[in-house]
């Protein structure tokens, strides 16, 4: 299996990658490339948390916003991840884009997005998804699929054709990064790794190349 299918265009990006000083700009560039190449869900990322006993947990979520403040996704705050994030206030996340053979790893502190930001995103979701946010007690035991369908029917009837408010238990988390590592596949497993790290969001980034 080929491990590196660089053409002239991606060689240029590789040059940008090793020279880059701004991890947010580099992430934006890589995400754009992933969006142009991945067959689905280029914004899918693994989200790692830790529970109150120190046991790690991981699952996929979708990145729904990203800027210099951090990386935003939405979920149910009463879910396992919600409770773990509210408790530990730290998380890690990983992107793996198979089509372009790249990985980005991010670690950082967790904040809750503003109500205005969460309302705006919630309002942009399809009506069925907004009802689903009310109907699903995410991560809690569900006795049957029928019980979930009954919850969906209940909230569909309750809201009728009126506006559906955002449930209090449903909002977004922002991971404010303290490290962002870019990984690009190389021949014979001699991959390129570039780690950007800082103490907190007021600090400047330090860049270190890592052995593969
Ligand atoms: C590609 C993909 C994207 C997902 N995106 C989200 C998401 O954005 N938010 C969310 O709450 N769950 C999302 N899920 C479901 C989660 O992986 C998980 O099953 C759910 O959130 C419950 O996780 P928890 O019990 O650890 O809280 C996604 C699953 C997949 C496979």
Phi-psi region of 41 (alpha: psi -120 to 50; beta: other; left: phi over 0): left
Asked if residue 94 lies in contact with residue 115, where contact means CB atoms within 8 angstroms, the answer is: no
Is residue 189 flagged as an active site residue? yes
The reported pLDDT for the residue numbered 18 is 77
**Helix-strand-coil percent breakdown of the chain, rounded to 5?**
35, 35, 30
Mean pLDDT of 49-65: 98
Distance CA 79, CA 177 (A): 23
Please identify, by atom number, the ligand 1 atom nearest to the C-alpha of residue 49.
26
104-135 pLDDT, tens digit per residue, is: 999 999 999 999 999 999 999 999 999 999 99
First to last CA, the chain: 19
Residue 6 CA to ligand 1 centre (angstroms)? 33
Residue 212 CA to ligand 1 centre (angstroms)? 30
Q: Which residues, in sequence order, are bridge partners of residue 46?
A: 60, 94
Distance CA 82, CA 111 (A): 12
In terms of C-beta density within 10 A (0-12 exposed, 13-18 middle, 19 or more buried), how is residue 138 classed? middle
Distance CA 79, CA 48 (A): 14
83-102 pLDDT, tens digit per residue, is: 999 999 999 999 999 999 99
User: Got the DSSP string for 8-32?
Assistant: HHHHHHHHHHHH---HHHHHHHHHH
Q: What share of the chain has pLDDT > 70, as a percent?
A: 92
Distance CA 28, CA 180 (A): 12
- Hey, whose CA ends up nearest to atom 12 of ligand 1? 61
**Sign, CA torsion 29/31/34/35:** negative
Ligand 1 is surrounded, with C-beta below 6 A, by 41, 44, 57, 59-62, 73-76, 79-81, 138-139
146-178 pLDDT, tens digit per residue, is: 999 999 999 999 999 999 999 999 999 999 999
- Choose, from 189, 193, 198, 209, the residue flagged as catalytic: 189
Residue 73 CA to ligand 1 centre (angstroms)? 10
193-206 pLDDT, tens digit per residue, is: 999 999 999 999 99
The reported pLDDT for the residue numbered 17 is 84
């Amino acid at each position: 299996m080929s491990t590196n299918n660089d053409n002239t265009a991606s060689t240029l990006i590789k040059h940008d990658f090793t020279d880059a000083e701004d991890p947010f700009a580099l992430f934006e560039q890589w995400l754009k490339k992933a969006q142009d190449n991945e067959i689905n869900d280029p914004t899918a990322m693994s989200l790692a948390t830790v529970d109150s006993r120190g046991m790690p947990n991981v699952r996929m979520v979708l990145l729904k916003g990203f800027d210099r403040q951090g990386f935003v996704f939405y979920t149910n705050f009463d879910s396992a991840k919600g409770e773990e994030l509210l408790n530990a206030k730290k998380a890690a996340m990983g992107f793996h884009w198979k089509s372009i053979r790249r990985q980005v790893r991010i670690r950082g502190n967790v904040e809750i997005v503003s109500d205005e930001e969460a309302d705006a995103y919630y309002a942009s979701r399809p009506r069925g998804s907004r009802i689903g946010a009310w109907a699903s007690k995410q991560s809690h035991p569900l006795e049957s699929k029928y019980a979930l369908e009954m919850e969906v029917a209940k909230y569909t009837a309750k809201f009728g054709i009126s506006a559906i408010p955002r449930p209090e238990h449903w909002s977004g988390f922002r991971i404010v990064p303290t490290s962002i590592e870019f990984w690009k596949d190389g021949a014979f497993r001699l991959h390129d790794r570039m780690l950007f790290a800082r103490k907190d969001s007021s600090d400047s980034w330090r860049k270190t190349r890592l052995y593969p």
